Structure 1
Amino acid sequence: MKIAVLFCFFLLIIFQTDFGQNEEIPRKQRRKIYHRRLRKSSTSHKHRSNRQLGIPQTTVFTPVARFPIVNFDYSMEEKFESFSSFPGVESSYNVLPGKKGHCLVKGITMYNKAVWSPEPCTTCLCSDGRVLCDKTMCHPQRCPQTVIPEGECCPVCSATEQREPTNLLHKQLPPPQVGMDQILRKEALQSEEDEEVKEEDTEQKRETPESRNQGQLYSEGDSRGADRKQRPGEERRLAHQQQRQGREEEDEDEEEEGEEGEEDEEDEEDPVRGDMFRMPSRSPLPAPPRGTLRLPSGCSLSYRTISCINAMLTQIPPLTAPQITSLELTGNSIASIPDEAFNGLPNLERLDLSKNNITSSGIGPKAFKLLKKLMRLNMDGNNLIQIPSQLPSTLEELKINENNLQAIDEESLSDLNQLVTLELEGNNLSEANVNPLAFKSLKSLAYLRLGKNKFRIIPQGLPGSIEELYLENNQIEEITEICFNHTRKINVIVLRYNKIEENRIAPLAWINQENLESIDLSYNKLYHVPSYLPKSLLHLVLLGNQIERIPGYVFGHMEPGLEYLYLSFNKLADDGMDRVSFYGAYHSLRELFLDHNDLKSIPPGIQEMKALHFLRLNNNKIRNILPEEICNAEEDDDSNLEHLHLENNYIKIREIPSYTFSCIRSYSSIVLKPQNIK
């Protein structure tokens, strides 16, 4: 009996010890465990939902399809947006991923570390190809009456309540999670309030020597709102102590969140670079008070932005508002811009004049001269025949798409040495009317769009800083050896919908490029996969040509190796490829699209592509799948194949051996139906 009692007592001690240890797990460790479980559950839910929607799991679509929004409850929300597609082709074929680290948001390319505000009180950041958006979280105010100032996101105590000592701490401490724009505004307002506090402190310190001695122990910022009837310094001492405790808790939370973040998080001290959107200036201007700015009918004011979209304006409205940084005049009937049009808006950073009737003769020679802070100018969809003169040297983005530009001379862009993005699509430009020195002064240009023009050759004189070049829908027939001699940083070249033949691409045109990763030659006149491709190439898009053969060893010289090869909608047959056709890409190829061709069997070497994730062989003439053509039974564990499309062939599904797809992790990702009957 005693032994049983002792045994029970011993078990009870062990149970209490274990329970106590579990209870003493630090808060940091518990949060790590929680987030680990949350990530697992969100990942499984994501893949499950993607399968239900029929969306291919392919990394190439990530910058376009997934728009992650980070919420402050440490969860991840994903929104799927529609893909743009080629005519008559399903959306997943527009797969050119662009430069690594860039984000594509609603058709707009955002450079890595670009910061923008898609709507008031929301700030977004492009971080290594992912879009992170933070919504301003407001700290609760402990006062009966609150107001939201114009241009602000969070309520503050009314003027009568701000002087109460009970609200001192909440006024001093910023919200724990706020947008970047609001932090800058808070700093400006804080500095103004501190100046007022200094004057009050000076008067208070003059009253008695005792108060002056005690006041030296505390910072000037902590004395704001203190009750003078109390013993001098007492209220400030308490406030300072509580504020320090609050900051220590915030620092601890930030440290914990930092440990759970991604390892490749960008350094905050790096310069932020954006092409479409920019942060407000470091010295933000206060928003205009309500009722002080009269706007035309159909216009609205929000967040230092005047919006007059489709307001039936025939001229630029006379506005005097130095606080305004953005003006939107899209979709009106404005035909001219006089010299004095923007005299009352000297601090404009963004100006949108797209879809009007503006002519070159209607623009005054000094119309933009006073806009010393202008960074973004959009004049798409007007009637310009030349680039406006005397544009501000501060411009970082200039868009003149869908106009009637007839020429670009040497002086047209001469002062724009800070320009990062230039878009001139849908005009009448060609090598005959674009001066070879036109781009010479664009020392910062990285993103150039010249699609839908009349170029027959690659434009000459491209700046050495260029990273992405878009020349789709032109009449280009050849690529010479000197085209890219000075563009050592170029990363993406898009030449789809031209007239290029493989024998018109010079052997030394781009083979020695060290940063060129993506080439799109879709819808040209290619009969073979081009030889002498860049050594650094990762993405090759050749949709919609007449390709009949993949020459042997055409990818053999590439380092680290081709990862994405798209050959859909061509004329490839069984005799057009063999094992050496993919030599050099067996270890690297992740996605291979061979659908909509004339294949009658599985191409050789598929089972040797150990890095392959996505294989498309649908819409061919395949009748049989022999054992080990796709999977090697002895090496199933080494396979990474996740998605296989074989629909719309002539395969008898019932005759497929059971082990044919043994290397594919999920049978639900194998598409076999429907099949043609013949």
Structure 2
Amino acid sequence: MATLCPAWGPADPSLPSQWLSLLLLLLWLGPLATPGMEDAAFPHLGESSQLPPRACPPRCSCPRADTVDCNGLDLRVFPDNITRAAQHLSLQNNQLQELPYNELSRLSSLRTLNLHNNLISSEGLPDEAFESLTQLQHIYMAQNKLSVAPQFLPRSLRVADLAANQMMEIFPLTFGEKPALRSVYLHNNQLNNAGLPPDAFHGSEAIATLSLSSNRLSYLPPSLPPSLERLHLQNNLISKVPRGALSRQTQLRELYLQHNQLTDNGLDATTFSKLHSLEYLDLSHNQLATVPAGLPQTLAVLHLGRNRIRRVEAARLRRVRGLRYLLLQHNELGSSGLPTGVLRPLQGLHTLHLYGNGLDRVPLALPRRLHTLVLPHNRVAALGARDLASTPGLAELNLAYNRLASARVHRQAFHRLRSLRSLDLAGNQLTRLPMGLPTGLRALRLQRNQLRVLEPEPLAGLEQLRELSLAHNRLRVGDIGPGTWHELQALQVLDLSHNELSFVPPDLPQALEEMHLEGNRISHVGPEAFLSTPCLRALFLRANRLHMTSIAAEAFLGLPHLRVVDTAGNPEHVLVRLPPATPRGPQAGGS
């Protein structure tokens, strides 16, 4: 009977909550770095009457009667024959240094003006430059040379992007008295508190997004719009949030204060207490020694990584019972940093990050519904029978790079984790596979341990395991017991790289699609090496002891799906003959 090979791909991850994509983006990409072009209203270039050629500036495109697109033409002078009917004008990515008032004043119908990425300075921008643009809704002037903001912007404005300039001063009517204004982007400028007047946003009661990140602010600006929903203040010099500075922002949902100089003295119990809609609070990369007081009960994500927190007090978390993500990585939490049960009231906690602290054991009495526990690079040396008993719903457990030894991992340590899908024990001191692994596991990572033997018993029942990493251990083929792979019926990825294997292990799992054997001592691949793996698609044999004829001509004949054979870094160029059924003919060397 023919073997059915499953679709090639990674194990299905468990579905994250609504905040996971935003959380990962902020963790790995860092602070906001691009202007808010998501609000742009440049029209869809669908079917519409086009301007006659004479009405469109040279080299520009006019796909609609109300649209002029002069993007990226290296223009140094503002075009002088733009139609008065233009509502959408793009001049981004050019070399413009100034905006002539007489040309702009003609374009009274403009709704969108895109000047992003030019060389426009404040000297090249007349005070009355936008006075006649009474219908303008979107203005984009990011990445120019402005040293001060325009003194006047139209009352009709909805989106203003002045990010990535050199601005040191904002005027009262730059953003004030704009009842329709929704989004203001001022990040990556040189604004300090003196450059922001107290009435900078007076009369603009609809602003939902304000980005002031990557400036030189030393304290939270006063008189922020009460309508704010997202406030970006990361990468400043903020050491204090004045009392009452956030008392009116009851609609604020996201607050970003990471990469500042906040200490416990810069916050008080009322700092966040009035933020009745706050869901996301990022205080990472500051100098906090404790969890802030007065956190709002609506909070879903609390990011406190890279501070100096030594102990988490239960009283500080009582109000945030609905918290979904708590990030405490790279703090100074030691053996008494998380007292037993301190996190138990967080009944909805989904993810707990404790990477890079000084914990010597898994925190006890964690919330029962915890889905993901991330605890690598601590000092955990033992796992008892009941250390993880309080989290039966755990789906992902990462204990990589701790101090776990096989003798101190109880055979029932994972017994209650029936929902566990991913277990990472890399970088410990294990000499044997742990016993009692949950049968629902799909990914098991044991690389960089001291494994010297593989036996069938620890892997028994792992019929859903799809990925197994055993790289960088001390395994030899003789150390792999007969029947070790027998029950791994779903295994697709097996990594045995950087061990001490002298040939391809026999009786490999039938569903295997990706096999890593690089960095071993393999000098010969016989015709029977892959008889048990008809689904194999990728084979990595680089940096072994192979010579030109080390791989038998028949070795890959039964592998119709094989597409990658990597034999680079061996003593000689290796002759590789892929199966006749593949689109490629016989090949020599790694592929």
Q: What TM-score do you get using the length of structure 2 for normalisation?
A: 0.66
What's the counterpart of residue 498 of structure 2?
A: 596
Q: What is the CA deviation profile of residues 507-552 of structure 1, one whole-angstrom value per residue up to 9, with x for unaligned ones?
A: 2211242210100001000111222211211110011111111122
Equivalent in 544, 548, 565 of residue 670 of structure 1: 565
What's the counterpart of residue 581 of structure 1?
A: 484
Which amino acid in the other structure matches residue 561 of structure 1? Q
Q: What is the CA deviation profile of residues 330-380 of structure 1, one whole-angstrom value per residue up to 9, with x for unaligned ones?
A: 111111122211134332111111111111122122111111111100000
Residues 531 and 329 (structure 1), Cα distance of their counterparts in 2 relative to 1, 3 Å cut: same
Q: Is the 8 A contact 2:185 2:210 kept in 1?
A: no
Structure 1 position 288, deviation (Å): 4.8
Q: Does 1:479 align with 2:383?
A: yes
List aligned pairs for 1:380-419, cutoff 5 A.
380-419=284-323
Q: More helix per residue: 1 or 2?
A: 1
Q: Secondary structure at the match of 2:549?
A: helix
Paired with 1:417 and 1:344, the residues of 2 have a C-alpha distance of 24
Paired with 2:182 and 2:332, the residues of 1 have a C-alpha distance of 46
Which amino acid in the other structure matches residue 415 of structure 2? I
Paired with 1:574 and 1:410, the residues of 2 have a C-alpha distance of 51
Q: Is the 8 A contact 2:184 2:209 kept in 1?
A: no
Paired with 2:564 and 2:409, the residues of 1 have a C-alpha distance of 39
Which amino acid in the other structure matches residue 258 of structure 2? S
Q: Secondary structure at the match of 2:478?
A: helix
Paired with 1:630 and 1:159, the residues of 2 have a C-alpha distance of 68
Equivalent in 556, 562, 584 of residue 661 of structure 1: 556
Q: Secondary structure at the match of 1:565?
A: strand
Q: Is the 8 A contact 1:553 1:580 kept in 2?
A: no
Residues 464 and 364 (structure 1), Cα distance of their counterparts in 2 relative to 1, 3 Å cut: same
What's the counterpart of residue 376 of structure 1?
A: 280
Residues 340 and 159 (structure 1), Cα distance of their counterparts in 2 relative to 1, 3 Å cut: same
List aligned pairs for 1:266-345, cutoff 5 A.
288-289=179-180, 298=190, 304-345=208-249
Equivalent in 462, 465, 468 of residue 372 of structure 2: 468
- 506-515 or 357-366: which moved more? 506-515
Paired with 1:564 and 1:600, the residues of 2 have a C-alpha distance of 23
Residues 418 and 567 (structure 1), Cα distance of their counterparts in 2 relative to 1, 3 Å cut: same
Structure 1 position 98, deviation (Å): 5.4
Q: Is the 8 A contact 2:207 2:227 kept in 1?
A: no
Structure 1 position 436, deviation (Å): 1.6
List aligned pairs for 1:55-454, cutoff 5 A.
59-60=9-10, 99-100=14-15, 108=24, 120=36, 288-289=179-180, 298=190, 304-454=208-358
Structure 1 position 459, deviation (Å): 0.2
Q: Is the 8 A contact 1:614 1:641 kept in 2?
A: yes
Residues 351 and 672 (structure 1), Cα distance of their counterparts in 2 relative to 1, 3 Å cut: same
Q: Secondary structure at the match of 1:469?
A: strand
Q: Secondary structure at the match of 1:553?
A: helix
Residues 289 and 566 (structure 1), Cα distance of their counterparts in 2 relative to 1, 3 Å cut: same
Q: Which has the higher contact order (CA 8 A, sep 6+)?
A: 1
- 384-393 or 331-340: which moved more? 331-340
Q: How many residues align?
A: 429
Q: Could you list the runs of 5+ residues in structure 2 that have no partner in the other structure?
A: 1-6, 27-33, 50-64, 67-84, 89-107, 112-176, 573-591
Paired with 1:630 and 1:293, the residues of 2 have a C-alpha distance of 61
Q: What is the CA deviation profile of residues 231-271 of structure 1, one whole-angstrom value per residue up to 9, with x for unaligned ones?
A: xxxxxxxxxxxxxxxxxxxxxxxxxxxxxxxxxxxxxxxxx
Residues 656 and 549 (structure 1), Cα distance of their counterparts in 2 relative to 1, 3 Å cut: same
Paired with 2:343 and 2:183, the residues of 1 have a C-alpha distance of 44
Structure 1 position 107, deviation (Å): 7.9
Q: Is the 8 A contact 2:536 2:561 kept in 1?
A: no
Residues 548 and 293 (structure 1), Cα distance of their counterparts in 2 relative to 1, 3 Å cut: closer
Structure 1 position 648, deviation (Å): 1.3
Q: Is the 8 A contact 1:316 1:334 kept in 2?
A: yes
Q: What is the CA deviation profile of residues 455-485 of structure 1, one whole-angstrom value per residue up to 9, with x for unaligned ones?
A: 1110012101100000011000011111221
What's the counterpart of residue 616 of structure 1?
A: 516
Which amino acid in the other structure matches residue 645 of structure 1? F
Residues 350 and 536 (structure 1), Cα distance of their counterparts in 2 relative to 1, 3 Å cut: same
Counting aligned pairs with the same residue, the percent is: 23
- How large is the Cα RMSD of the aligned pairs? 3.6
Paired with 2:184 and 2:497, the residues of 1 have a C-alpha distance of 60
Paired with 1:663 and 1:359, the residues of 2 have a C-alpha distance of 65
Q: Secondary structure at the match of 1:615?
A: strand
Residues 484 and 317 (structure 1), Cα distance of their counterparts in 2 relative to 1, 3 Å cut: same
Q: Is the 8 A contact 1:98 1:518 kept in 2?
A: no
Paired with 1:159 and 1:673, the residues of 2 have a C-alpha distance of 60
Q: What TM-score do you get using the length of structure 1 for normalisation?
A: 0.58
Q: Secondary structure at the match of 2:352?
A: strand
Paired with 2:385 and 2:456, the residues of 1 have a C-alpha distance of 23
Paired with 1:621 and 1:294, the residues of 2 have a C-alpha distance of 58
Residues 605 and 294 (structure 1), Cα distance of their counterparts in 2 relative to 1, 3 Å cut: closer
- 447-456 or 502-511: which moved more? 502-511
Q: Could you list the runs of 5+ residues in structure 1 that have no partner in the other structure?
A: 1-56, 62-96, 111-117, 124-134, 149-156, 161-285, 633-637
Paired with 2:453 and 2:528, the residues of 1 have a C-alpha distance of 24
